[in-house]
Amino acid sequence: MTQILELRGVKVYGYRGDRLRNIDLTITPGERIALLGSNGAGKSTLIAVANGSLTPDSGIVLWGGRPITHLRQHQRQAIGTLWQDLRLLEELNVAQNVNAGALSSRNLMWAIANLLYPLEIKACKECLKAAGLSTKIIFANIRELSGGQRQRVALARLLRQRPELILADEPLFSLDPFLTEEILNLLLARTTRGPVVIHKTLLMSMHQPDLIHHFDRVIGLRSGCVVFDNSSDELDAKALAWIYQSE
Amino acid sequence: MNRISLTPPILSLLPALALVPVLAVVVTSVHVGGLQLLFEFFGAAIQPSLDPTVVKSAWRGLQITVATALISWIISTLLGILLGIASASVVWQTCIGKSWPAFLIRRILTIPRAIHELLWGLLLLQLLGLSPWVAILAIIIPYTTLVARVFSDQLDTQDRRALNALLQAGAMPFPALITALGPPIVPILMSYGGYRLECSLRGATLLGVFGLGGIGTDLQLSLQSLAFKEMWTALWMLAAVMLTLEQSINWLRRRQRANETTTNQILITFALMILLMSLGLPWLKGLEIDLSSSISWNPIPWPTLAELIGALNHLQWLKLISSTILLTLLASGIAIGTPPLAMMLWPSRLGIEVQSFIWALLRLIPPPLSLLLLLLSCQPSIAVAAIALGAYNLGVMGRLLKEGLEEQGNSCWKALQSSGAGAHSSWLYGCLSAQSPSYLAYAAYRTDVILRETVVVGLVGGTGLGWQLIESLGSFNWAQVILLLIVFATITLTGESLSDYTRHRWLRSTPKPPLVLDLQS
């Protein structure tokens, strides 16, 4: 099957040793990949390189066979990221934050108008519902929301973007078991509801090996190197220990 | 249900609407003959006069301005600290258990603060004649009270738990105050002190424009004789000093953040102040400006009640006050709205650098000079005065916005870029959104400054209270002068209260405002 994302010989240097060392990786449409690794193994760096926000020191990242750096700005809409720190816009309300996901296909005047008078409320509400949020909070300020609600707003923004590939950086971090299950189900769902399309290609970094059975493939990172890349069925206790083993 | 939401980024951009009426008026009042002169002025920027006589004269003027600024800065900072301590509630409460003396001192200090240094300069010129002390005192009087206000505000808003703990343990009031409040207040004071030195330099230049000596006088004389090349010689020299000062202060701030100990900071600062003071006085003497010469005292004849009533009836107060307020609003709109608008429209690295350069140039030319330049090709109006005043303050606001954005980090901007948002939209959402509460808080303070500065362009541009004041001073109508000063001080203090309220409102909504915002009040 044709890959949608490919990393070839990617290296990222850091102050205290390399953050990524010679990574070769391909992601094909429909894959659901769990990215495992201890803190500092390079998971967030890998996601930042994959979405084009971090340029590797060497190697190349290809999207649909073209270097990611050659993509036109609006073409980047196809790659959606759920950031670990969410990166919500604290000064804006929920609708304006959700609409920020649609900026790739809108012009500057639309962006300015949305700051003055939140636009396309129907689409925002659909995304909020799909993310499991009440539409009553649509005009609430981001600062007024709980941690779980903020997580879901970030997810709603991602759904508004309608990406083909979702890169999720530890989205289950610090969530209670109930919320973990819900967010995971949302990310793994293969549904189309009104304007909301949830694509099935997912790369998600996480620390919960007990949830691996939800994924098709597992990539294990250790000290910036891929040390495991196989079907999730192949991940046993020995492999897990190998991934999380400190140098 | 949709609802209009005046979000902080929109509120940062909206003031730019002031450009529409202002430019409409200015464009219709331009006369082509004057435009030629304006082109000559800008053309002269790349070929300043290198005539040794011109360079020597500008160099002498620059030295006078810098020495005046240094002496005024040191004296006003030291006096300001003392008065700040005397007007801090926490000090009186700790020492005598009551805070009313602090309140009383604060009230008294509002009066000298409400009057712009230029007005002090013009008044002192009447009282003392043409003495080198006029420029120094004109800066010292308002700046001392400004430093005192900031210092007492900072002392009163510090966390008092450590102080209470020390007092509980039996410490004497003053040692407890120094131990508990000294370490957190020193870095703030250092940072603010640097900013005030920049203000002193700008103040000394401005006073020169009105005939009180230094580089400002050189600039004014070159402009009057349309000697643009000579004017640029002085402007570039002034730019070099300003830029060096700005960079040095930024460097010191960064160094200060990089964990320099408090004791070292205090020692370095006071050593530097003493050194500069001991250099400043002989420096001026070397330039044949003797501060030890005697000062003549020419008291103003106090007007009678009948004269005051006559002045009250004679002046068109409504027109004077409304034009001052309109000028403040238009100039503030230009100063606050233009930098975010320009950066949004040209957010690339090259764009920001080009804009920074333009802002630096705008900060360089004192508003009365830019107004005179504009008047070469436009008829006098509030709109032209607003452009001159707005352009200068735009330079300050632009620099502040850029610095704030640099400190803020770019994670949200990167997130939006990676999601495919365009350059303009991702700057608006990812950069300006987070910065706008701090920016608006500073904008509130800047509006207050612009209100004080209306007097400066008013004097030249024939508008508002400032213009009337110079007319009344020129005709020695002291009844009018006194009434105008009272009205101006009242408007300024009202503006200050409004600005304080707005500023605190915005700062409350900012989780971590840049340090500079707390200080420049």
pLDDT at B481 exceeding the cut of 70: yes
Nearest residue on chain A to B506, alpha-carbon basis: A91
Pick the range with the lowest mean pLDDT from A44-48, A212-216, B294-298, B303-307. B294-298
Q: What CA–CA distances, in Å, run from B454 to B321, B336, B440, B457, B469?
A: 11, 16, 20, 6, 12
pLDDT at B504 exceeding the cut of 50: yes
Which of B518 and A114 is assigned the larger pLDDT? Answer: A114
Contact A87 B424 (CB under 8 A): no
DSSP characters over B151-168: HHHHHHTS--HHHHHHHH
- Size of the A and B interface in Cβ pairs below 8 Å: 114
Shortest alpha-carbon distance between residue A241 and chain B (Å):
33
Band (B512; pLDDT cuts 50, 70, 90): very low
A186-190, B120-124, B134-138, B340-344, range with greatest mean pLDDT: B340-344
Cα separation, A115 vs B8, whole angstroms: 9
Q: What CA–CA distances, in Å, run from B423 to B42, B344, B397, B416, B418?
A: 32, 8, 22, 9, 11
**Inter-axis angle of helices A147-161 and A177-188, to 10 degrees?**
0
Phi/psi class of residue B226: alpha, beta or left (left: φ > 0; alpha: ψ in -120 to 50)? left
Cα separation, B413 vs B425, whole angstroms: 9
Buried b or exposed e, range B269-285, using 16+ CB within 10 angstroms: beeebeebeeebbebbe
Residue A136's pLDDT is what? Answer: 92
Domains of chain A plus CATH, in order, are 5-244 (3.40.50.300)
Nearest residue on chain B to A68, alpha-carbon basis: B418
Q: Which of B430, B437, B459, B443 is nearest to B396 (CA)?
A: B443
DSSP characters over B27-49: HHHB-HHHHHHHHHHHHGGGS--
Q: Where are the domains of chain B?
A: 8-30+303-519, 55-286
Chain A partners of B434 at a C-beta cutoff of 8 Å? 89-91
Nearest residue on chain A to B431, alpha-carbon basis: A89
C-alpha gyration radius of chain B: 24
Which of B285 and B110 is assigned the larger pLDDT? Answer: B110
Shortest alpha-carbon distance between residue B157 and chain A (Å):
25
In three-state form (DSSP H/G/I as H, E/B as E, the rest C), the secondary structure along A198-212 is CCCEEEEECCCHHHH
DSSP characters over B52-87: HHHHHHHHHHHHHHHHHHHHHHHHHHHHHHHHHHHT
Residue B471's pLDDT is what? Answer: 84
Residue pLDDT, tens place only, B147-188: 998 888 888 877 788 888 888 887 888 888 888 888 778 777
Say if domain B8-30+303-519 classifies as CATH 1.10.3720.10.
yes
Residue pLDDT, tens place only, B277-333: 777 777 777 777 777 676 777 777 888 888 889 888 888 889 989 999 999 999 999
Of B3, B9, B420, the CB nearest to A75: B420
Alpha helices, H only, B208-297: 215-224, 228-257, 262-286
Residue B517's pLDDT is what? Answer: 42
Average pLDDT estimate for B112-140: 86
Contact A100 B10 (CB under 8 A): no
Cα separation, B62 vs A10, whole angstroms: 56
CA B113, distance to chain mean position in Å, is: 13
Chain A partners of B412 at a C-beta cutoff of 8 Å? 87, 89
Average pLDDT estimate for B377-401: 90
Residue B263's pLDDT is what? Answer: 67
Pick the range with the lowest mean pLDDT from A84-88, B120-124, B358-362, B460-464. B460-464
pLDDT at A100 exceeding the cut of 80: yes
Buried b or exposed e, range B179-202, using 16+ CB within 10 angstroms: ebbeeebbbbbbbbbbebbbbbbb
Contact A111 B425 (CB under 8 A): yes
Chain B partners of A101 at a C-beta cutoff of 8 Å? 419
Average pLDDT estimate for A43-68: 92
Of B344, B415, B428, the CB nearest to A87: B415
Band (B112; pLDDT cuts 50, 70, 90): confident
Residue pLDDT, tens place only, A102-127: 999 999 999 999 999 899 999 999 99
Of B3, B428, B436, the CB nearest to A111: B428
Chain B partners of A91 at a C-beta cutoff of 8 Å? 7-9, 433-434, 436-437, 509
Q: Which residues of A touch B (CB under 8 A)?
A: 51-53, 73-81, 83, 85, 87, 89-93, 96, 100-101, 103-108, 111-112, 115-118, 121, 139, 161, 163
Residue B150's pLDDT is what? Answer: 84
Residue B334's pLDDT is what? Answer: 97
Question: Do B55-286 and B8-30+303-519 have the same topology in CATH?
Answer: yes
Which of B127 and A195 is assigned the larger pLDDT? Answer: B127
Pick the range with the lowest mean pLDDT from B71-85, B154-168, B271-285, B331-345. B271-285
Segments of B134-204 assigned E as strands: none
Secondary element (H or E) of residue B494? helix B478-508
Buried b or exposed e, range B215-230, using 16+ CB within 10 angstroms: bbbbbbbbbeeeebbb
Average pLDDT estimate for B410-431: 92
Band (A190; pLDDT cuts 50, 70, 90): low
Residues B507/B512/B514/B518 CA torsion (nearest 10 deg): 40
Residue pLDDT, tens place only, B240-265: 998 888 888 777 777 766 655 666 76
Shortest alpha-carbon distance between residue A238 and chain B (Å):
36
C-alpha gyration radius of chain A: 18
Sheet with A225-231, edge to edge strand ranges:
A79-82, A165-169, A201-205, A32-36, A217-222, A225-231
Specify whether the CB–CB gap between B385 and B325 falls below 8 A.
no
pTM score: 0.82
CATH topology of domain B55-286: MetI-like fold (1.10.3720)
pLDDT at A101 exceeding the cut of 80: yes
Of B10, B434, B509, the CB nearest to A115: B10
Residue whose pair of structure tokens reads 């391909």 in the numeric block: A26
Residue A192's pLDDT is what? Answer: 58
